[in-house]
Amino acid sequence: MIRAVFPGSFDPPTLGHINIISRGAALFDSLDVVVAVNTRKTPLLKPPQIRTLLEEQIEVLKLSSVKVAVHNGLIVDYCRSIRANVLLRGVRASSDFNYELELSILNKQLGGIETVFLPTEPRYLVLRSSTIKEILKYRGNISKMVPPSVEKALLKMV
């Protein structure tokens, strides 16, 4: 039984994240998407709101083995609490990879947990939550970057 955890800030959730979640659901027996509070980034959406938006997408896609949780603390502690064996991360460019590699080594040291990387699909290569926040600030069109319910929630905030 392989229990995987997909952690991130998901602020906001993008079609790139949703793609990794669907592909992860097909690979593992269970997948917990964990909304982690990222202290290095300025938050736009609050974690409970992010959880609701992700849960809506998971329901639309009928991914019954996927659940969403909010966690404030080390991700290895969350993994331990649910006896997860794998961390799932998506990678876009080599710039992601350098950071992700260091993080995977740290998580292995901290919690003995392996990280599995899924390469993004080319159409999501340039999708980044931070870029979406920037586009939103200037009221640019984000409809091809996020699910419709996420777009609706974001438009209410500008």
Residues that bind ligand ADP (CB under 6 A): 8-10, 14, 16-17, 20, 38, 89-92, 96, 120, 124, 127, 129
Burial class (CB in 10 A: 0-12, 13-18, 19+), 112: exposed
Is the CB of 38 or the CB of 149 nearer to ligand ADP?
Answer: 38
Is the CB of 113 or the CB of 127 nearer to ligand ADP?
Answer: 127
Tokens of 111: 């919690």
Across the strands, what pairs with 31? 4, 66
Amino acid at 144: K
Element (H, E) at 82: helix 75-82
CB of 89 to ligand ADP, least distance (A): 4
CB of 72 to ligand ADP, least distance (A): 14
CB of 85 to ligand ADP, least distance (A): 17
